[in-house]
Amino acid sequence: MKDSVAERIESLRAEIRRHERLYYVLDQPEISDAEYDTLMRELQAIEKAHPELLTPDSPTQRVGGKPREGFVKVRHSAPMLSLDNALNEGELRDFDRRVRDLLAGAEFRYVAELKMDGLSMAAHYEDGLLRLAITRGDGVEGEDVTENARTIRALPLRVKPPVPRFEVRGEVVMPRRYFDRLNEEREKEGLMKYANPRNSAAGSLRVLEPWITASRKLDYFAYFFLVDGKPYYPSHWQSLEALERLGFKVNPNRKQCVDVDELYHVCRQWEARREEFPYEIDGVVAKVDSVSQQDSLGWTAKAPRWAIAYKFPAQQAETVVENIEVQVGRTGALTPVAHLRPVFVSGVTVSRATLHNEDEIERLNLHIGDTVVVERSGDVIPKVVRVVRHGSERRAFRMPKQCPVCGGDVVRAEGEAASRCINSNCPARLKETVRFFASRGVMDIDGMGEALVDQLVDRGLVKSVADVYGLTLEQLMELERMGEKSATKILQNVESSRGQPLARLLNGLGIPFVGERTAQILADTFGDLDKIAAADADLLQTAEEVGPKVAESIRRFFRERHNQELVERLRAAGLRFTQEVRNHAAQGVLAGKTFVLTGTLPTMSREEAKAKIEAAGGKVTGSVSKKTSYVIAGEEAGSKLAKAEELGIPVLNEDGMMRLIGGQTV
Ligand code: IVH
C-alpha cells in the first residue's frame, strides 16, 4: 500500500514538474490551468495524508509557510562582478580592439545576449536539488534568499545534473505586465508604487514572506553554469545549451557573432525590438565565447576583460516643468503631477509626469520653471529624473492645505508619504471610487467608464456607489450621448453585477489597504461581509497576510456611519454578501499535526520551538494523549516522554523537528 502511494506521489510530481517546465520555461503549455490545478490538488491531498513522504523538492513545497526574521549573509563561490559599459558604437569597437590585441590575432567568437534589467542571483544545487540562492549583494557576499527563490517557477527545484554540485547564475526579472499589474494594485491599496521592474523584482525577492514573492510572478533567466566558481563547459555557448537541457530558462535571444560588425548589427536589431520583449532590457551583453580565451583575457578589479555591456541610449529627454498640479485619487491621496512643455521621448510625446508626493519633490529639489530630465521606461508613467537647470523665475510647490476639488481639509498622517483629502464625499474621490467599483476587475459594469461616471457624479445622480443600483432608464437617457439602447444595456450590466462574488464587492468598497488579493483572502476566510464588518482587529488578523495595519484599516472603515449605511444600501440592492468559506491559510507542512514539547531543547527555547511549529501549520498542546502526533523532547524530559513511549507516539529531538518542518522525512 505504502509503495503504491509513494509511486503515485512520484509520478504526480514528475508529471507536474514536466508541465511546470512546459509552462514556465518553454512557454508551451500542454494542459489547461484547471488540469494543472487538479494534478496539484491530488498531490497536496496525498502529501497531507502521508506527511512522512513529503520532500522539499516536491512542487507543492515552493512556498514555505513561515516569514523570516531577516536574511543571512553568504559568501559567493567567486565574486559576482559587474560589467564595463559601452555607451556607443565607438566604445564597443574599442572593447573589441582590446580583446583582439590581448588575444594576439587568435580567432575567437562573441556570444551576444540580451541584458535584462533585473538583479543577478546565484543558485546552488547539490545532488540535483536547489539548496541555496544568493543575491548579488556587494558581489563578494550576498543574502540567502533561498525560500523566496524557490517560489520562482522558472527556477527548477530539482534537476538531473552532470556533477554533484554546481552553481547557476542568472537574472531575476519581473515581466512588464506583472509589474504594471502590481503597481496598479499597490496604488489601489494606497502603497508606494515601484519605480521600475528592476526595483520591484529586487523588492519582491527580498521580502521576508515567501508567499509575497510567490504572488509577484518573478522570472529567472540563467546565463552561467559554474562548478567551484568556474565555468564548467569549455565555451559559454555550450553552458547556455547545457542549462537549457537541464531545464533552466535561458533567454532565446542569443547569438554567436564572428566579429564586432556582426555583434554591433545584433545590438542594433535588438535595440529596435526593445519594446517587444515582455521584460525590460537595457542593452546587450557580449561575452568572448571560449572559456580558455576568457581566462587568458582575465579580469580587472571590477569586471571581466572578456565581456562588455552595450547600453542602449537612455530613453530620456530634457524639458521644462511649466506647472505642478495635484490630482485627487480614490483614497483621497493628493498626487502632484508635473505639467511639462511637450517633448518627444522614444516615440511618444510626453506632457505630464507624476511626482508621487512631497518628499519626492524635495528629493529632486524641484521648482516650477526648472528644466528637468524626463525618462520613459517601458509602460511606466514618465518620471522626472533630475533637475538640470533652475528656472530664472522658479516657484516652489506647496501641497495645498485644502483639497483642490472640494475644499476639504488635507492631512498628512504621521509616517505616511501621501497627503490626503479627508472629506469622504469629495467628488474627485467619489468619481474615482465609482469608476473603480464599476471597473472590469471589480463589479465589471461594462459601459460605466470615465465619461459616464463624471456625468453621473456631476449631476448628483450618484453620491455613493450604492446609487448605481438605483439608476433608472429615464435618468440615463437624459445624459449626453446616451440613447435608449445603450442606456438599457448599461442597466442590464448593472443588474448582472449584483451577482459578482463577495471578494469583488469587498475590493470595490475601497477599504484602504484592501486590494484584490486581500479581499479574496478575507472572503475565503470569513465567507460573510457582516462577519468581516463586525470582526475586531484580532479576529481579522487570523486571516492569512492580514497584519495589524490592514486589520485596523478594515475595522475603522466599518465603524464609520456612512460606510455602515453604504453596506445596508448594498444589501438592500441584493448584492452578494456571502460565499462558502475556503480556508485560505497556506497549508503548512505540519497542518493537522499536534505536538507536545518537553525538556530543554539544545538551541531554542520552547517558545521559539512552538512558534516554528505553528508557523508550519502545526498545533502545540500541553499534554500527551492519543491524539498527539509527535512529542519533541529535549534534555531532562520527564513524565511526558514516558507517556509518549507508553502510547507509542513518535518522539523527536530538536533536529528531527526541524527536519520535519523543512519537509523532510524523519
Ligand atoms: S553577465 C561578470 N549576462 O547586468 C559577468 N549579466 O552590469 C556579469 N545582466 O550584474 C554578468 N543580463 O545583473 C550578464 N545576459 C547577461 C545579463 C547580465 C543582465 C546584469 C547582471 C549583472 C549586470 C552587469
- CATH code for position 158: 3.30.470.30
Hey, which of 119, 120, 306 would you mutate to test ligand 1's pocket, going by the most ligand atoms within 8 Å of its Cβ? 120
Considering the domain architecture, whether residues 268 and 371 belong to the same structural domain is answered as: no
Q: What's 590-634 look like in SS3?
A: CCCCEEEEECECCCCCHHHHHHHHHHCCCEEECCCCCCCCEEEEC
The pLDDT value recorded for residue 379 is: 43
- Burial bucket for residue 49 (CB in 10 Å: 0-12, 13-18, 19+): exposed
- Residue 618 grid cell: 502545526
Given pLDDT bands bounded at 50, 70 and 90, which one contains residue 68?
Answer: low
Q: Tell me which long-range contacts 583-586 makes (C-beta under 8 A, separation of at least 24).
A: 583/524, 583/525, 584/520, 584/521, 584/524, 584/525, 584/543, 584/544, 585/525, 585/544, 585/617, 586/63, 586/65, 586/211, 586/544, 586/617
Distance 536 CA to ligand 1 centre (A): 49
Considering its fold, how many domains does the chain have in total?
6
Cell numbers 502521508: residue: 50
Q: 247, 281, 311 — which closes off a domain?
A: 311
Hey, which of 221, 230, 237, 285 would you mutate to test ligand 1's pocket, going by the most ligand atoms within 8 Å of its Cβ? 285
In a domain, 408, yes or no: no
Q: 466, 497, 528 — which closes off a domain?
A: 497
Distance 183 CA to ligand 1 centre (A): 25
Residue spans of beta strands (DSSP E) within 38-173: 73-75, 85-86, 110-116, 119-126, 129-135, 141-143, 165-173
What lies within 8 Å, CB to CB, of 445 at 6+ separation is 437, 438, 468, 490, 493, 494, 497
Using CB distances shorter than 6 Å, the residues near ligand 1 are 81-83, 113, 115-116, 119-120, 136, 171, 223, 285, 304, 307, 309
The pLDDT value recorded for residue 416 is: 83
Domain housing 549 = 502-572
What type of residue is 370? D
- CATH code for position 376: 2.40.50.140
In a domain, 78, yes or no: no
The pLDDT value recorded for residue 397 is: 95
Strand partners, 219: 173
pLDDT digits (tens, 9 = 90+) for 243-276: 999 999 999 999 999 999 999 999 999 998 988 8
In a domain, 580, yes or no: no
Considering the domain architecture, whether residues 122 and 257 belong to the same structural domain is answered as: yes
- CATH code for position 655: 3.40.50.10190
What type of residue is 650? P
Distance 231 CA to ligand 1 centre (A): 15
Is 42 a residue whose pLDDT tops 50? Answer: yes
Strand partners, 321: 340
Please indicate whether residue 401 is annotated as part of the active site: no
Distance 117 CA to ligand 1 centre (A): 9
Q: 465, 497, 529 — which closes off a domain?
A: 497
Compute the C-alpha angle 353/355/357, nearest 5°.
155
| Dihedral sign (CA 452, 458, 460, 465) | positive
Cβ–Cβ under 8 Å, residues 477 and 487 = yes
Strand partners, 432: none
* Closest residue by CA, ligand 1 atom 21: 120
Asked which of 6-15, 169-178, 196-205, 588-597 is least confident by mean pLDDT, the reply is 588-597
pLDDT digits (tens, 9 = 90+) for 127-145: 999 999 999 988 899 999 9
Compute the C-alpha angle 131/134/140, nearest 5°.
130
Cα 83 from Cα 94, distance rounded (Å) = 15
Distance 61 CA to ligand 1 centre (A): 29
- CATH code for position 22: 1.10.287.610
Considering the domain architecture, whether residues 121 and 107 belong to the same structural domain is answered as: yes
Q: 569 vs 136, 465, 563, 577, 641, CA distance in Å? A: 54, 9, 10, 12, 59
Considering the domain architecture, whether residues 155 and 226 belong to the same structural domain is answered as: yes
Considering the domain architecture, whether residues 600 and 617 belong to the same structural domain is answered as: yes
In a domain, 72, yes or no: no
Instruction: Select from 32, 33, 55, 31 the least CA-distant residue to 43.
Output: 55
Strand partners, 374: 317, 384
Average pLDDT (486-501) is: 94
Distance 346 CA to ligand 1 centre (A): 24
What is the chain's alpha carbon radius of gyration, rounded to the nearest angstrom? 29
The pLDDT value recorded for residue 663 is: 63
Asked which of 4-18, 288-302, 458-472, 599-613 is least confident by mean pLDDT, the reply is 599-613
* Closest residue by CA, ligand 1 atom 12: 115
Chain center to CA of 309: 27
Is 547 a residue whose pLDDT tops 80? Answer: yes
Considering the domain architecture, whether residues 219 and 347 belong to the same structural domain is answered as: no
The pLDDT value recorded for residue 64 is: 66
In a domain, 546, yes or no: yes
Hey, which of 115, 172, 239 would you mutate to test ligand 1's pocket, going by the most ligand atoms within 8 Å of its Cβ? 115
In a domain, 136, yes or no: yes
Helix (H) or strand (E) holding 287: strand 281-288
Given pLDDT bands bounded at 50, 70 and 90, which one contains residue 1?
Answer: low
Given pLDDT bands bounded at 50, 70 and 90, which one contains residue 378?
Answer: very low
Is 9 a residue whose pLDDT tops 60? Answer: yes
Instruction: State percent of the chain over pLDDT 90.
Output: 57
The pLDDT value recorded for residue 65 is: 57
In a domain, 556, yes or no: yes
Considering the domain architecture, whether residues 101 and 161 belong to the same structural domain is answered as: yes
Hey, which of 113, 114, 171, 263 would you mutate to test ligand 1's pocket, going by the most ligand atoms within 8 Å of its Cβ? 171
Considering the domain architecture, whether residues 307 and 324 belong to the same structural domain is answered as: no
Is 566 a residue whose pLDDT tops 90? Answer: yes
Considering the domain architecture, whether residues 548 and 597 belong to the same structural domain is answered as: no
Active-site option among 2, 48, 73, 115 = 115
Cα 46 from Cα 1, distance rounded (Å) = 13
Given pLDDT bands bounded at 50, 70 and 90, which one contains residue 586?
Answer: very low
Average pLDDT (296-304) is: 91
Cα 314 from Cα 239, distance rounded (Å) = 31
Burial track 572-586 (b if 16+ CB lie within 10 A, e otherwise) = ebebbbebeeeeebb
Q: What are the phi and psi torsion angles at 27 (to 5°)?
A: 60, 35
- CATH code for position 467: 1.10.150.20
Is 217 a residue whose pLDDT tops 80? Answer: yes
Considering the domain architecture, whether residues 252 and 272 belong to the same structural domain is answered as: yes
Is 585 a residue whose pLDDT tops 60? Answer: no
Work out which ligand 1 atom sits closest to the CA atom of 117.
19
Cα 181 from Cα 185, distance rounded (Å) = 6
Considering the domain architecture, whether residues 592 and 468 belong to the same structural domain is answered as: no
Q: What are the phi and psi torsion angles at 101 (to 5°)?
A: -60, -50
Considering the domain architecture, whether residues 55 and 186 belong to the same structural domain is answered as: no
Distance 81 CA to ligand 1 centre (A): 9
Work out which ligand 1 atom sits closest to the CA atom of 169.
11
* Closest residue by CA, ligand 1 atom 17: 115
Residue spans of beta strands (DSSP E) within 315-370: 316-328, 333-345, 348-354
What type of residue is 639? S
In a domain, 395, yes or no: no
Give pTM, 2 decimals. Answer: 0.56
